[in-house]
Structure 1
Amino acid sequence: MPADDRALPLRERKRIRTRRALADAALRLFAEKGFAATTVEELVDAAEVSRSTFFRAFATKEAVAIEAETELWTGYLDTLTSHDLTGPVLTALHDILTDAIAALPEDWDERYIATRQLVLTAPSLLGHVEYARSGVETQVAQHLSGKLALPEGDLRPRILAELTTTAWSTAGRGWVADNGKGGRSGLLERLRLAFAAIPAALQLSA
């Protein structure tokens, strides 16, 4: 558990520990048996919790499988809502996502790589990831619209939100394919390069 979590109330710390125990057990069992072949009953047995405890923590088996992905986007949204926006918004979103990634636990790298490798073996997980990211984009767009007092129907916040997740996808995919080469700093450098390529990509012509 990260040191910052020690300041949380006991109940919240227990909730976080339970989620992690379930997520760790899930990744281990999914890697051993495959996602489809692993049952919720096997997950709760491995984590030594009840079935009702599992469903209080995760709505579905897919949700526990992509917990590392959820950690990333939860941190991103939390950082976004706690920061003031200044300067070019795309630059601000890059900085906010960078801060969120840098704040993730040290073992997140290994868990995220395992998660993405698992996703490649289970098409239903890919759909779950895409659905979750779309929800994040909607929340980001709504936050930007409110912060910048933009009129309803303005497409720019949604486009910026989607450009951010696209830059992440490009950086993260390459980093995972390289088995996390360079560690967290390598991932952040890939993210920087992906964001830096956006203006030039928009100006590209044939």
Structure 2
Amino acid sequence: MTSDDVRSLPLRERKKLRTRRALADAALRLFTEQGFDATTLEELAEEAEVSKSTFSRTFPAKEAAGIEAEAELWTAFLATVEADTLTGPVLDALHRALAAALDGLDDTWDARFLATRRLAAAEPALLRYVEHHRAQVKEQLATLLAGKLALDADDLRLHVLAELTLTAFSIAGRAWVRAHGAGARPALQTALTGTIHAVPASLDLTA
């Protein structure tokens, strides 16, 4: 969410978002400093100055707090797809939705996402949770598309499109992270455009 979006929310919701961000930031700091396994829920809650029960109401597991930057992107993406009226080739529509979701994330997201990906690369539990989260996003995306396109939820084309969209971002994101975020978000958007365009081109590839 942008800063303007946050300011437009009721006070109660703004407080919830601040608590969520504080816990996610604490998770990144502590996981980086002392390791994922060595960090307890009690330490995370204390670092963010909230109770353990508040943590449990905010995140289902400490892994979820550690990948919050990743989750923010996919939450924004699914919300954008849900709000959009799909027109034209669906892959192009999904690219537009993902690009819009990226543009709408706040200015701190780049640094938080880079830190998250570096941490996940060193912590197998977080990497597994990222994959688990993305699997859920793919299922949610396929279900959304089924409703919008009046297709059966089991239609393989929907699941292939969901897989291709998230894979395209994954490839673009890995290259951007390896470059330490050089070029900031515009560079990530350019990389995403390249990977999306490579999807149909790769299907036409012959030997």
Partner of 2:180: 179
Deviations 1:21-73, CA, capped at 9 Å, x for gaps: 00111111111111111111111111110000000000101000000001000
Counterpart of 1:102, as a letter, is: D
How far, CA to CA, are the matches of 1:146 and 1:197 in structure 2? 27
Please show how residues 73-92 of structure 1 align to structure 2 within 5 Å: 73-92=74-93
Amino acid at match of 1:104: L
Whole-angstrom CA distance in 2 between matches of 1:141 and 1:30: 33
Please give the residue correspondences for 1:18-97 in structure 2 after superposition, counting only pairs within 5 Å.
18-97=19-98
AA aligned opposite 1:59: P
Shift of 1:153: 3.0
Give unmatched runs, 5+ long, in structure 2. Answer: none
Provide the TM-score with structure 1 as the length reference.
0.97
Give SS of 1:29's match. helix
Any unmatched runs of 5+ in structure 1? Answer: none
Q: Name the residue aligned to 1:160.
A: 161
* Partner Cα distance (2:166, 2:153) in 1: 22
Q: What is the match of residue 144 of structure 1?
A: 145
Code of the aligned partner of 1:116? R
Deviation at 1:7, TM superposition (A): 1.4
Partner of 2:136: 135
**Distance in 2 separating the partners of 1:173 and 1:157:** 24
C-alpha distance 138-152 of structure 1, shift in aligned 2 (>3 A): closer
* Aligned amino acid, residue 53 of structure 2: S
Kindly provide the amino acid, as one letter, of the partner of residue 92 in structure 1: A
Q: Secondary structure at the match of 2:46?
A: helix
Which residue pairs with 1:10 in the alignment? Answer: 11
Q: Is the 8 A contact 2:94 2:165 kept in 1?
A: yes
Paired residues, number: 206
CA deviation map 1:120-169 (0-9, x unaligned): 11111111111111111111111111111113532111110110000000
* Offset from partner CA, 1:100-132 (integer Å, 9 cap, x none): 001000110000000000001111111111111
Deviates more, 1:139-148 or 1:47-56: 139-148
Shift of 1:6: 1.2
Mark the CA change 1:91 to 1:127 in structure 2 (over 3 Å): closer, same or farther: same
CA–CA distance in structure 2, aligned partners of residues 192 and 102 of structure 1? 14
2:102 counterpart residue number: 101
CA distance, structure 1, for counterparts of residue 61 and residue 34 of structure 2: 18
Amino acid at match of 2:122: T
Q: What secondary structure does 1:120 align onto?
A: helix
Q: AA paired with 1:53?
A: T
Task: Report SS of the residue matched to 1:204.
Answer: coil
Provide TM-score, normalisation by structure 2.
0.97
After superposing on structure 2, the runs of 4+ consecutive aligned residues of structure 1 that deviate more than 6 Å are: none
